[in-house]
Amino acid sequence: MPKWDKFLSKESSLLKTSEIRDLLKLTEGKNVISFAGGLPDPTTFPAEDIKNITDYVLDNYSSRALQYSATSGIPELRKELVNLSSQRGISNISENNIFVTVGSQEALFMLFNIMVDPKDNIFVETPSYLAALNILRARNPSFHGIPLTEYGPDLDSLENQLKKLASEGKKVKLTYIIPTAQNPGGTTLSLEGRKRLLELASKYDFMIVEDDAYGFLVFDGDSPAPIKALDKEGRVIYTGTFSKILAPGLRLGWIVADEEIIQEVELFKQNVDLHTPSFTQFIAAEAIKRNVIQNNLPRIRELYRKKRDVMLHAMEQYFPKEASWSKPVGGMFVFAWLPQKIDTVKMLSTALNRGVAYVPGSSFYYDYSGRNTMRINFSFPTEEQINNGIKTLGQLVKDEM
Ligand SMILES: Cc1ncc(COP(=O)(O)O)c(C=O)c1O
């Protein structure tokens, strides 16, 4: 029995450390090829530009950049985020619809905290982003899954479930969705699908939390406009992040939402951390203004497209034909479905012994199903590591069959 347990709140008992995280921690500093993380390739960081901007910010704005600032974000960055949003197709918004956060993780944390009560009916994709699921799990809602197909979430399934819930007199609070280059599935929902989801939200009166972490990182074809761009009712709350397009170490993300929601988030954030660091906000605002992000994006997309191709090619070569996997059009991950008898949670320790790490897919299912799936990252490892690691992993899967 842990010594201080009796002093902890009931809510903190819902925060569990996962055996998987503990296992992966053991690999730190060891000679393991890791497909487990979700790190950008550090060669994509525009360090020289950030250095110049930092000097400029300190020369010109030090009295504000090193000072406390507004909870919703500095005006300069909110203004630039209106511009950046319009480049993703979101128009008809003002600075008042923008709220700056410490990464999009904090955005999701605050949104789910101000919106979700225990037992609320909420929909998530199966699979969905692990860290968002963990925030939601701590809210103790009634989860419902929207199975992911190769074309994105299965909206027929969603509609059937919505009908059923309505017939039982049950209301739905929200749907959390990553419609573009989904993590972990790698899928993108079509424009028609986006319109249909909005119609369903309107008909069954629920909110959509749209996580657009990879919207700027689509490297095959166009990146469809976010659902937020189609939203006329203010039903969609959009989250974006600088982590994949500039640098995650700046810890900057943002929310685009109706002003009423923004005001609630503001009240909540005052309790969390008062405001997002002023200094990094000035840097990000200047980076948008100087087109550092836009100029860097083609290079990032090209690099990840190349690494994705190396990974898919290696999987063709080394994975058994009974396995299948996503062909991501963007983002940083491939998701693989192995024969049913393979349990990727159990297989992980053998994989680590053989020098390769992945995240078992069950972590991405709200109900921990998907025991035969895995998520593998291609943005961080080198091409050589991808080849060698996939060879090892493919052999392991064959040995387990
Ligand atoms: C889908 C998705 N949403 C949100 C995040 C959170 O990222 P950050 O807090 O760095 O913005 C991530 C990070 O990997 C992600 O993959």
Structural contact between residues 352 and 335, judged by C-beta atoms closer than 8 angstroms: no
Pick the atom of ligand 1 nearest to 178's CA.
1
CA distance 177 to 113: 17
Mean pLDDT, each 10-residue run in order, the chain (401 residues): 84 73 74 92 97 98 98 98 96 96 98 98 97 94 96 96 98 98 94 97 98 95 92 97 97 98 98 97 98 96 97 98 95 96 94 94 94 96 97 96 90
Distance between Cα 378 and ligand 1 center (Å): 16
Q: How many CA atoms lie within 13 A of 142 on its CB side?
A: 8
Ligand 1 lined by 182 (C-beta under 6 Å):
no
As a whole number of angstroms, the distance between CA 10 and CA 236 comes to 31
Distance of CA 3 from the midpoint of ligand 1 (Å)? 34
Report the candidate in 245, 254, 185 with the shortest Cα–Cα distance to residue 214: 245
- Cβ atoms of 103 and 310 within 8 Å: the answer is no
Classified by CATH at the fold level, domain 5-45+295-400 comes out as Aspartate Aminotransferase, domain 1 (3.90.1150)
Distance between CA 377 and CA 284 in Å, rounded?
Answer: 26
Q: How far is the CA of 38 from the centre of ligand 1 (A)?
A: 9
CA-nearest of 398, 301, 353, 337 to 33 is 353
Q: Whose CA is nearest to atom 15 of ligand 1?
A: 213
Domain boundaries along the sequence of the chain: 5-45+295-400, 48-293
- Is residue 183 within 6 Å of ligand 1 at its C-beta? yes
Q: Whose CA is nearest to atom 12 of ligand 1?
A: 213
Residue 211 Cβ contacting ligand 1 at under 6 Å: yes
Atom of ligand 1 nearest to the CA of 129: 1
Q: Is the CB of 105 under 6 A from ligand 1?
A: yes
Q: From the CB of 127, is ligand 1 less than 6 Å away? A: no
What is the model's pLDDT at position 19?
67
The residue whose two tokens read 């994949």 is 244
Is 260 in contact with 17 (CB distance < 8 Å)?
no
Cα(341) to centroid(ligand 1), Å? 31
The whole-angstrom separation of Cα 289 and Cα 79 is 10
Q: Is the beta carbon of 80 within 6 A of some atom in ligand 1?
A: no
User: For residues 107 and 255, what is the distance between their CA atoms, to the nearest angstrom?
Assistant: 7
Most ligand 1 atoms within 8 A of CB, residue of 187, 210, 211, 245 to mutate: 211
What's residue 44's pLDDT? 96
Nearest to 285 by CA among 81, 100, 58: 81
Q: Which of 324, 368, 389 is nearest to 143 (CA)?
A: 368
For strands 152-153 and 98-101, give the pairing: unpaired
Give CA separation, 383 vs 265, 306, 348, in Å: 42, 9, 22
> CA of 49: how far to CAs of 46, 53, 123, in Å?
5, 6, 41
pLDDT at residue 2, as a whole number:
77
Contact present, 239 and 111 (Cβ < 8 Å): yes
48-293 classified as CATH 3.40.640.10: yes
Ligand 1 pocket check for 241: Cβ under 6 Å: yes
Order of all β-strands in the sheet with 207-211: 98-101, 253-256, 236-241, 207-211, 172-177, 121-126, 142-149, 152-153
The answer to whether the 5-45+295-400 and 48-293 domains have the same CATH topology is no
